[in-house]
Structure 1
Amino acid sequence: MPKLTAKTFFTEAEQQRIETAVQAAEARTSGEIVPMVVDESYDYPRAEIVGAGFFSLATAVTASWAFGHSSVWVFLPIFIILYFPFKCLIRALPGLKRRLIHPAEIATEVAENALVSFVEQGLHHTRDKTGILILISLFEHRVFVLADKGINDRVEKATWDEIVHLVTGGIRSGQTAEALCTAVARCGELLEEHFPVKQDDTDELPNLILS
């Protein structure tokens, strides 16, 4: 089975459904909603280094104890030889690599990537500071919602958590596109309540980003 990436996460039909949902939500408000899917928020090199070191150390210690009378001259070559294969193995197995990363580090990197993406995509340039980013980070299995100050000041934080749970629930049930469309519609309702559409509004940002 080919590796699932951000660009293949949704079918073309699903991408069209999501973009249509964004357009429908934005037609009722002056705000901007941008769903974004990324392969990963960070490459986590420390997980590969520490993991490869641990596995090669454990294997070398065991082998030198079992076959080399705990000789350092048996231990060192085994450790050196196995370090890079283990590092490549961890890189090739996302599930294993993810288990070597502390959840707090994952949460920090996803939040940081959301903030960087928010700025890079220009969501902070909306007229009333009403940009909303819904980030799906595939490697981390995380969803993060980041809203600009205009709408964030008027919405309880728990509301964004509800949108995150809505999307993550859809991912778990295999209904990601449908759940994301529902989340977009909910964001549109929040924006419409506080920032209704204006006569000179334009669609300022992309309606779906896959990277």
Structure 2
Amino acid sequence: MRTPAQNFLTRNEQDRLIRCVQDVEAKTSGEIVPVIASISYDYPLAAHLGGLLLGILFAMGLSLLLGRDDMWVYLALFLPFYVIFNRLFMRYPRLKRPFISRAEMREEVEEAAITAFHGNGLHRTRDMTGIILYVSVYERMVQVLADKGINDKVNPEVWQEVVEMVTDGIRTGSPGQALCKGVERCGELITHHFPVKHDDTDELPNLVVEGEPR
């Protein structure tokens, strides 16, 4: 079964994005890696809150329907309802969204992007010139991080422009085109400081989808 990350871009869009990365990297010693993740965190608290709320409501409703107001009867009904709904929320992450704040999602996406940055070796490039363009499908959020070599020359605040560019494209239903534009903009921001070298090599994958490099 394909994951949301694997369904995020069509095969043609993936191939086009890879070519876009290759074209940009032909002009710069920077390494740009788009990473598509299905979800940045499993949000267990949201599943707990959802199970708790629905467990209470269903237990109360069934207690009233049975004409029983005994606390022990209510608890006996609440516990199985809680377990059922908790597992339902864990199985279908989409149900958790009403119980997750934007601030929490933003924090988890930032943390997951940092983990992906290191997990995919962007901190190990020769000149510390790795850039990750991280997309988390569930949260519908984008994060851009650059290594120290780039941040010493380029103001890290400029990456927000790339984030907004890609986010807007995803929102309007053009994720592949938006990611290509984001990669090209990253290239424009770093090429002046980090032009391609005569012995430059492609050190990292040009696209990572749910842990699968391409």
* Counterpart secondary structure, 1:183: helix
Change (3 A) 1:3 1:59: farther
Residues 14-35 of structure 1 deviation map (CA, whole Å, 9 limit, x = unaligned): 1110000000000000110000
What is the aligned-residue RMSD (CA, Å)? 1.7
- Letter of the 1:199 partner, please give it: H
In the other structure, the counterpart of 1:137 is 136
Following superposition, the deviation at residue 69 of structure 1 comes to 4.4
- Within 2, Cα distance between the matches of 1:191 and 1:156? 11
Per the normalisation by structure 2, the TM-score is: 0.91
Following superposition, the deviation at residue 59 of structure 1 comes to 2.5
Q: Say whether residues 1:21 and 2:12 are aligned partners.
A: no
Following superposition, the deviation at residue 112 of structure 1 comes to 1.1
Following superposition, the deviation at residue 210 of structure 1 comes to 0.3
Contact 1:29-1:198 within 8 A present in 2 as well: yes
Matches within 5 A, 1:1-211: 5-65=4-64, 67-211=66-210
Unpaired segments ≥5 residues, structure 1? none
- Letter of the 2:9 partner, please give it: F
Change (3 A) 1:200 1:140: same
- Within 1, Cα distance between the matches of 2:70 and 2:155? 62
Change (3 A) 1:145 1:58: same
* Counterpart secondary structure, 2:29: coil
* Counterpart secondary structure, 1:193: coil
Contact 1:65-1:71 within 8 A present in 2 as well: no
- Within 1, Cα distance between the matches of 2:2 and 2:101? 24
Which shows bigger deviation, 26-35 or 149-158?
A: 149-158
Per the normalisation by structure 1, the TM-score is: 0.92
Change (3 A) 1:161 1:183: same
Contact 1:21-1:181 within 8 A present in 2 as well: yes
- Within 2, Cα distance between the matches of 1:92 and 1:58? 20
- Letter of the 2:56 partner, please give it: L
Identity of matched residues, %? 48
Q: How many matched pairs?
A: 210
Change (3 A) 1:99 1:155: farther
Following superposition, the deviation at residue 144 of structure 1 comes to 0.7
- Within 2, Cα distance between the matches of 1:3 and 1:93? 15
* Counterpart secondary structure, 1:13: helix
Following superposition, the deviation at residue 121 of structure 1 comes to 0.8
- Within 1, Cα distance between the matches of 2:10 and 2:63? 51
